[in-house]
């Protein structure tokens, strides 16, 4: 089954308070923690969604580059002059190399970013199950607590009534003890999970930065060979120029393009 990053979050339910068994502070602490977890899961879902959109955009751009390169290579225009044919061949060589880089970048982003975040998000299903279990315990304790209150209000002195009240009190005590245990456990484990999530995500963020640095650096180097800096003693791939000189160079190229017959106004 394909994982869908658009599916709704696992964790959506905030914990119900359980007074007077649990104090306001105890209920509030858990509620605040769960709200942070809900926000964390939503953020992870959005990060994964945006990464998938980004990779799709990069792949689409690469496909467009490949089609353009192929159309130029098979066009009769490529045979008008040796210089133009050389430019087309160089462009085709670069787009072919960039295409391999794109596939590698997409694969690495899947392995180091999307898949680890998917595994992290799966943990929220376990947290949601734990919150659901606590809700069941809260509802069970509230039911027994209300039964005890109603039995106490009857003021019945019959032996059967007193025995029933005692049974309900014991049941309420057992349910309350179980609820307190689970609540206390969540107050320890959930904040610890929140603290650890950043430590878990950091390697993915670091890997993403390195992947992007390698991808854009390599792509820039390849395309720089097609448009090397003039009068530079450095190699084209490592040539540097000022922003002003770069803008002048681009302006010159744009003016040459605008002067072409195919872009002039009819």
Residue 113 per-residue DSSP state = I
C-alpha neighbours within 13 Å on the C-beta side of residue 168: 17
**Total length of the chain:** 266
Residue pLDDT, tens place only, 21-65: 999 999 999 999 999 999 999 999 999 999 999 999 999 999 999
Residue pLDDT, tens place only, 155-201: 777 888 788 889 999 999 999 999 999 999 999 999 999 999 888 99
Domain range annotation of the chain: 24-226, 231-266
- Does residue 3 sit in helix, strand or coil? coil
Comparing 32-41, 150-159, 211-220, the range with the smallest average pLDDT is 150-159
Looking at domain 24-226, its CATH class is: mainly alpha
Q: List the Cα angle 180/182/188 in 5-degree steps.
A: 105
- Written as six digits, the tokens of 32 are 């605040």
Q: Which of 14, 224, 2, 262 is nearest to 128 (CA)?
A: 14
Rounded to whole angstroms, the Cα distance separating 69 from 143 reads 72
Is pTM beyond 0.85 here? no
Q: Which of 135, 124, 192, 186 is nearest to 14 (CA)?
A: 135
CB atoms within 10 A of CB 40: 21
């Amino acid at each position: 089954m394909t994982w869908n990053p658009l599916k709704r979050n696992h964790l959506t339910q905030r914990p119900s308070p359980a007074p007077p068994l649990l104090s306001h502070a105890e209920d509030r602490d858990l509620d605040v923690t769960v709200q942070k977890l809900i926000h964390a899961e939503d953020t992870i879902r959005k990060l994964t969604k945006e990464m998938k959109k980004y990779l799709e955009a990069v792949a689409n751009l690469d496909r467009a580059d490949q089609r353009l390169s192929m159309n130029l290579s098979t066009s009769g225009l490529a045979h008008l002059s040796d210089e133009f044919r050389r430019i087309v061949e160089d462009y085709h060589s670069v787009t072919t190399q960039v295409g391999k880089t794109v596939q590698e970048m997409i694969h690495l982003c899947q392995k180091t970013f999307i898949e680890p975040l998917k595994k992290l998000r799966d943990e929220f299903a376990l947290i949601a199950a734990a919150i659901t279990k606590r809700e069941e315990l809260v509802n069970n304790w509230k039911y027994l607590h209300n039964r005890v209150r109603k039995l106490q209000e009857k003021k019945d002195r019959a032996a059967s009534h007193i025995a029933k009240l005692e049974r309900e009190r014991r049941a309420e005590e057992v349910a309350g003890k179980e609820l307190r245990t689970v609540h206390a456990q969540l107050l320890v484990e959930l904040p610890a999970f929140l603290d650890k999530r950043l430590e878990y995500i950091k390697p993915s963020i670091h890997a993403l930065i390195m992947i992007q640095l390698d991808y854009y650096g390599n792509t820039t180097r390849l395309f720089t060979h097609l448009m090397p800096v003039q009068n530079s003693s450095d190699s084209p791939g490592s040539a540097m120029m000022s922003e002003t000189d770069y803008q002048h160079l681009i302006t010159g190229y744009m003016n040459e393009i605008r002067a072409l017959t195919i872009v002039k106004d009819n």
